């Protein structure tokens, strides 16, 4: 959705209106037709390139419906439906982390060469979203046991359908235990990295890796760095030993 914006948003809104009119034409009630249109918008919002674009896509239909006056007969509680759908896709506690920042295609190319793992290694994508990171991890570690954790139910389901090669579960990445994994991959945000490093040092076994796309751990020197195709850096930290303090 990035290159031709806002055309994708307009097409998504048109699809929502098409569903709304079609469902209404089948004799369904106004609330049901609106719910179908709002659900379509919430689903299509998953394709947005940034969090705010996804919110823009998801809220476009209910806001345009309100402006049209067609929903004047809808009870006040009915407007909670699109907000509920948005909260279902993007739970509030997930916004403290990084809501659906997809790993770019080819973004992890070369990772296996720097972070060498045994064939049966367990690899975790912490906050897997729609599975873009898992697909990249599979290319690097085709024999590994890949797992993903995602807090949003719809994203977890979508990721499970897209990444049948991995075990996907709904979990809070900060409350879940990381101790069984040989490598934990994150694409979070700068504010989350101190928390991630503290958790990694407490839970990961000696020799395990913490891999962070784009954002480094302040005050820690990585064992390796990988220059990605799009110019971003993948920061690789060996846990919990063999890492000295200092600013990289």
Q: Is the pLDDT of residue 98 over 50?
A: no
**116 and 233, same domain (yes or no):** yes
Domain presence at residue 178: yes
pLDDT in tens, 154-199: 788 889 999 999 999 999 999 999 999 999 999 988 888 999 999 9
Give the contacts of 69 (CB within 8 A, at least 6 positions apart).
Answer: none
Q: Which of 33, 59, 90 is the last residue of a domain?
A: 90
**15 and 116, same domain (yes or no):** no
**229 and 160, same domain (yes or no):** yes
Q: Which of 90, 124, 151 is the last residue of a domain?
A: 90
Supply the range of the domain harboring residue 148: 111-239
Looking at residue 49, what is its pLDDT?
61
**57 and 144, same domain (yes or no):** no
Query: Tokens at residue 34, please?
Result: 């609106």
Alpha-carbon distance 248 to 246, whole Å?
6
Number of domains, the chain: 2
**48 and 131, same domain (yes or no):** no
Q: Is the pLDDT of residue 77 over 60?
A: no
H/E run at residue 41? helix 30-44
Domain presence at residue 95: no
Give the model's confidence band at 8: pLDDT under 50 very low, under 70 low, under 90 confident, else very high: confident
Q: Which of 90, 123, 149 is the last residue of a domain?
A: 90
pLDDT in tens, 196-241: 999 999 999 999 999 999 999 999 999 999 998 888 899 999 987 5
Q: CA 190 → CA 20, 77, 98, 187, 215, distances in Å?
A: 40, 38, 10, 10, 6
167: CATH: 3.40.50.150
Looking at residue 214, what is its pLDDT?
92
**78 and 119, same domain (yes or no):** no
């Amino acid at each position: 959705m990035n290159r031709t914006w806002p055309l994708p948003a307009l097409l998504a809104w048109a699809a929502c209106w098409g569903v709304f009119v079609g469902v209404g034409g089948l004799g369904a009630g106004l609330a049901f037709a609106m719910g179908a249109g709002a659900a379509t918008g919430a689903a299509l919002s998953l394709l947005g390139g940034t969090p705010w674009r996804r919110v823009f896509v998801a809220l476009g239909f209910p806001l345009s419906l309100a402006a049209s006056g067609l929903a004047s007969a809808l009870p006040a509680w009915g407007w909670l439906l699109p907000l509920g759908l948005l909260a279902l896709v993007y739970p509030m506690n997930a916004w403290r982390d990084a809501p659906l920042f997809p790993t770019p295609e080819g973004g992890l190319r070369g990772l296996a060469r720097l972070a060498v793992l045994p064939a049966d290694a367990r690899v975790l994508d912490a906050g897997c979203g729609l599975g873009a990171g898992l697909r990249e991890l599979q290319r690097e570690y085709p024999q590994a046991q890949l797992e993903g954790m995602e807090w949003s139910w719809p994203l977890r389901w979508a990721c499970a359908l897209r990444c049948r090669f991995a075990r996907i579960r709904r979990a809070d990445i900060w409350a879940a235990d990381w101790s069984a994994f040989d490598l934990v991959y994150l694409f979070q945000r700068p504010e989350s990295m101190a928390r991630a490093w503290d958790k990694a040092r407490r839970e990961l076994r000696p020799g395990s890796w913490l891999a962070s796309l784009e954002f480094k751990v302040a005050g820690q020197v990585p064992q390796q760095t990988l220059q990605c195709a799009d110019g971003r850096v993948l920061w690789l930290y060996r846990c919990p030993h063999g890492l000295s303090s200092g600013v990289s």
